[in-house]
Amino acid sequence: DQDHILPHQVQLIAGNLDNGFELPLANVVIITEKEMFGTVAKKRPRQTTFNNAERIKSYTDLKPGDYVVHVNHGIGRYEGMKTMEVDGKHQDYLTISYKDDAQLFIPVTQLNLIQKYVSSEDKHPRINKLGGSEWAKTKAKVASKIEDIADELIDL
């Protein structure tokens, strides 16, 4: 429990401290990750955000027929929820359809991999082929443009 300091014990507690300190009367020494290892592990961004995509807080934000962007598989169409048994456990899955009638079943526990596709235009997006190279090319182009913008900002 992070709310209690146990005597004569080494404890790891997540927190944000710039420097450690000592409480001699309580026989407590606090050492930060930086003091112990010389560096602080960099946190990775939680998720890439794509243009024309908005974060989904709950699967109830989606309606069958909505277009979605999967971080690894690209643009597909949400078809609804399906309960399936996998390894003896029943679990809810989001059903996403892709080009050529391919379907992907995503556990609701992996909802963070999906964003809702949004556009100010009335046209429908082009659905990606599941396992195809088109989405990887799109992500590479976006990454290249981001690098170009970053270089321009650095030059300013």
For 138-147, the pLDDT digits (tens) are 888 878 888 8
Amino acid, res. 9: Q
104 lies in some domain: yes
Q: What integer pLDDT is reported at residue 66 of this predicted model?
A: 92
State the residue range of the domain holding 110: 53-132
Dump the DSSP string for 84-115: EEETTEEEEEEEEE-GGG-EEEEEGGGGGGEE
List the structure tokens of 71: 């971080």
Convert the pLDDT of each residue in 54-71 to its tens digit: 566 676 788 999 999 998
Residue 90 lies in a domain: yes
Question: Residue 149 domain-assigned?
Answer: no
Parallel, antiparallel or unpaired: strands 53-55 and 74-86: unpaired
Give dist(CA 54, CA 44) in Å, integer. 20
Contact by Cβ (8 Å): 141, 133: no
- For the domain that residue 66 is a member of, what is the CATH number? 2.40.10.170
For residue 10, what pLDDT is reported?
72
Average pLDDT over the chain, rounded to an integer: 80
Tens of pLDDT, residues 86-134: 888 899 999 999 999 999 999 988 888 898 888 777 778 889 998 888 8
